[in-house]
Amino acid sequence: MSLFALMRMQVHPSHTPGYPPGSGSTYAHDWSPAGTGGKIERRGRHFVDGYGRVCSLRGVNVSGSSKIPVDHDHVTFPANHHSVTFVGRPFPLEEAPQHFARLRRWGLSFIRFLVTWEAVEHAGPGIYDVEYLTYVKKLLSLLPEYGLSAFVVVHQDVWSRYSGGSGAPAWTLGNIGFDLHALEESGAAWLLGVKGGGHVEAERGIWPCGYQKLAAATIATCFLAGDTFAPKLKVTATNGDVKSVQQYLQDAFLDMYAIVAETLGGLEGVLGFEIMNEPHRGYINLPSLHKFDYNTDLHLSHVPSAFQSFMLGSGYPTLISHWTRSFPMPTRLTSHSVLNSEKRSAWRLDGPTQGKCVWEMHGVWGWDNVKNEGVVLREHYFTKHPVSGRKVDWYTDFYYPFLKRWAARVHSVVPKEKMLFVEPIPNELCPPTWTKENQVPNMVFAPHWYDLNALFTKAFGDFTVNVQGLSRGMFPLKAFYWGQKGARDNYSLQIRNIINVGHKVLGEMPILIGECGIPMDMKCRQGSTSDGNWIWQYRMMDAMMTALEQSLASFTLWNYNPDNTDTHGDDWNGENFSWFSRRRALPPSLLNLGQDSFTLDNGGRILPSVVRPYPAKTAGIPSRFDYEMNTGEFTFEWTLTEQCKSRETEIYVPSLIYHGRKLVVEGLAPDDKYTHDESRQTLFVVVQSNSSPTKSRKIKVSVQPPLRGHFHVNTFWGDFGELILSGLVVFIGIFLFIKFTLYT
C-alpha cells in the first residue's frame, strides 16, 4: 500500500485504549458512508472501507421484474413498444422502505441494480424517459438510509425483449432493417417466453437458444463488429447523419449510458456501473455457418445453423433440426421440421437493407435461382477480417476497445472513484488476453456462475455434475459428485476456478460473482413448489452459498423479485429464481422495519439457506470462513495487518437464526474482547495488537441451544459405505470358499 493511501485512511475509534466493542452506532452490513468511514474502494484483490477493513459485499440482484415494463401485455406484444413505461420497476417508490429494510435484515445489503436500455430510451433514439430516470434516482437516493449500496447494470439477455430476451429498445432492431412483427414467424427469434410462456416442458429453457438465432446474433455482431463484417449497412441518425451500423448502435448506447451515469453517478449509495449483462459474440469467431458448437451453444427445440437462419429470415422455408432433452448427453437430435412455410421475411422493405438479408448483402451467402437453393459463399467469413484476411478475436478486436470507449464516457460524467464492473461471455473463464493494457480504470471483474445442469434439467438431487469441468475435457468420473457434501465440493471447485483464473490473468483486482442462484421451480426427488416442501431447494442453495463462502467471494444473488408468484415465477421466459414474493408477505400496515423484526421475513422461502452469518468488515485479511447451517456454527480465520486502521471486526449474525440463543465465541486471545448485539445483528470483535505474539486469529462461534438441522449432510461413503463393505465381505467369502473347496 502506498504512503499516500495510508495517509488518506481514517483511524477507527477502536484504536482508542479501553474502547468497548460495538460502542459505535454502525453495524456489520452497513455500507453507508457512516458505516464504512466514508467510502468503499478497491485495494488489491479486496474491497476495503475507509479504515482499511476488508469488506465482504453480499447482496442481491434487484430485480428480475425490471426486464419488463409495468404495462407489458403478453397478448398484444410487441405492439405499443414506443409507449411502454418502466416507472415502478423493480417496485413502486412507496414500497421501497419495506424492501430495503428487508434486505438489510437479511444482510443482503449490496445491490446489483438492473436498468434496461429500453426503460431509458423506448420512445425512440435520443428520446429519454425523464420520468423513469427521476424515479430511479429517488429510489437509489434512499439506499444509505438503510445501510445499502449498489452498482448499476444496464441489463440485457438475447439483446432485447423483441428478440426473445430483455434490454435494448425495439427501434434498435427496426432501424437496422428487421420487421418486428415477422421475427417470430420467420424463425429469427423465439418470443413465446416473453409472451408469458416457457413454463411447460416443451417450452422450458429454450430462450438461451435465441442467442444463436438471426435477430440477436446479427445485431450483436453489428453492435461490436459492424465496421468489420457489415460495412455496407448504413443507418441514418435522427440528426440526418449517415453512420455505419456499428457507430450508430454504439453511439446510441453510449449516449444513453452517459445519461444514466450522469443521473445516478453522484448518489452516495451508487458505488459504480456495469457495462452490460452477459455479452455475446453473435456470429463473431463462428467457425462454420453450417453448425454451432454443441459444447458452447445450447441445442434445444429448433436449432437452425447460421446459414439456415439466413435463409429462414429471407423468407425461404427450410428444414431445421429439432433437439430434445436426453441422457447422458444433455440433448439429442430427434427430428426435422420445415419452418417458415408462410415465406415471411424478417427484413423490412423500407429498411436500410431494402428487404435483403444483411449477410446476403455482404456476399456471405446467396440464393441459386437455377437450383432453387441457398449457397454458402464465404464459409469462414466471421473468423477472419473480410479484407485483410487476418484472424479476428472477439475480445481483443471488439470487446476490449468498446470497454475503453464506455469507461471513458462514464468517467467523463461521474467521479473517477466510481468502480467499473465488467464480465466475460457467460460460462467462460477469464480470457488470457485480459491483460493490463486491456483493462479499464477502477475495474472490478464480475463474472456469473450457475449450476448449468440443474438449470437445464430444473432438478437437483444427490447426484451433481461439474459441467464446467466436462466442457473443458475433464475425465467424466472426476466430474460426478454424490450427496450434499459432494454438491458443496463440486460448486466450490467451480467457483474457485473462476476466481483463481481471474486473479491469474487480471492480477490483484476485486472479483465479485455478479449472478448466482437456483431455480425455485425445480422438479426434485422430494419436495416441490406445489406442496410447500422445499428441502431440495434448501440443499441446493446451501451448496452454492457454502461454495461462495469457502471461496471468500463477494456476490449478488439472482434475484429478489417482489412480483414473483408460484404460477408465473419471475414472469420472464418461464424463469423462477426469486425466493421472495410480496404475495406471501404481510401487508405494509403490519410491518415493523427494524432489523430485529420478524415481520419482514414473511414472503421469503428457504431463508435459512440464504440468510447466513458472514464477516462483513474484517480488521485484517480473511483467510477462511466455514458455516454449517444445520448447527449454526461457523469458523472464521483472519490475519492482522499494520495497514488496517481498525481493531474492530464486524460479523453479521442474523437474528432470524440466532434469536433467543447465546453465542459462544472461542479462540480469542485473553485481552481480546467481543460483544453480540442482536438488535444490530452484529458480533463485534476487538483484537488487541499486543495481546498475542501471533498475527492471526481463529474463532469458532457456536450457539446454545443448538439449531435444529434442516437436512443431513450426506456423503457417498455415508450412504453406500456399509453396502460396499458388505458386498466386499461376501465377495471375499465366496472367493475363499471356491479356492479352498474346489482347488484343495
Task: Write out the catalytic residue numbers.
Answer: 278, 515
**Among candidates 164, 205, 175, 207, which has minimal Cα distance to 77?**
164
Taking the CA of residue 68 as centre, how many other CA atoms within 13 Å lie in the half-sphere pointing to its CB?
A: 23
The DSSP output letter for 408 is: H
Instruction: State the Cα–Cα distance between residues 211 and 193, nearest whole angstrom.
Output: 14
Does residue 547 sit in helix, strand or coil?
helix
Kind and range of the H or E run holding 618 = strand 614-618
Strand partners, 160: 168
Phi-psi region of 323 (alpha: psi -120 to 50; beta: other; left: phi over 0): beta
Whether residue 540 contacts residue 477, with contact meaning beta carbons closer than 8 Å, is answered with no
Please name which of 706, 717, 684 lies closest in space to residue 22, comparing C-alpha atoms.
684
In angstroms, the CA 589 to CA 240 distance is 54
Report how far apart, in Å, the C-alpha atoms of 88 and of each of 17, 22, 324, 539, 579 are.
50, 38, 39, 34, 20
**Number of other CB atoms surrounding residue 369 within 10 Å:** 7
In the beta sheet, which residues pair with residue 674? 685
609 in Cβ contact with 544 (< 8 Å): no
Sign, Cα dihedral of 578, 556, 58, 497: positive
End-to-end CA distance of the chain: 79
Which strand ranges, in their side-by-side order, compose the sheet holding 58-62?
443-445, 419-422, 270-274, 149-154, 110-115, 58-62, 554-557, 512-513
The b/e string for 649-671 (b: 16+ C-beta within 10 A; e otherwise) is bbbbbbbbbbeebebebeebeee
The β-bridge partners of 55 are 47, 617
Using alpha carbons, select from 619, 613, 734, 737 the residue that is nearest to residue 681: 613
Alpha-carbon distance 319 to 338, whole Å?
Answer: 4
Other C-beta atoms closer than 10 Å to the C-beta of 93 total: 13
Q: What is the helix, strand, coil percentage profile of the chain, to 5?
A: 30, 20, 50
- Could you tell me where the DSSP H helices lie in 9-57? 33-36
Inter-residue contact 107 to 681 (CB < 8 Å): yes
Dihedral sign (CA 229, 235, 241, 242): positive
Residue closest to 517 by CA, chosen among 467, 557, 548, 572: 557
Which residue reads 428520446 in cell numbers? 127
Q: Where would I find the H helices in 181-294?
A: 214-229, 245-264
Amino acid at 507: G
CB atoms within 10 A of CB 391: 11
Cell of 287: 467457425
Backbone angles phi, psi at 676, to 5 degrees: -115, 125
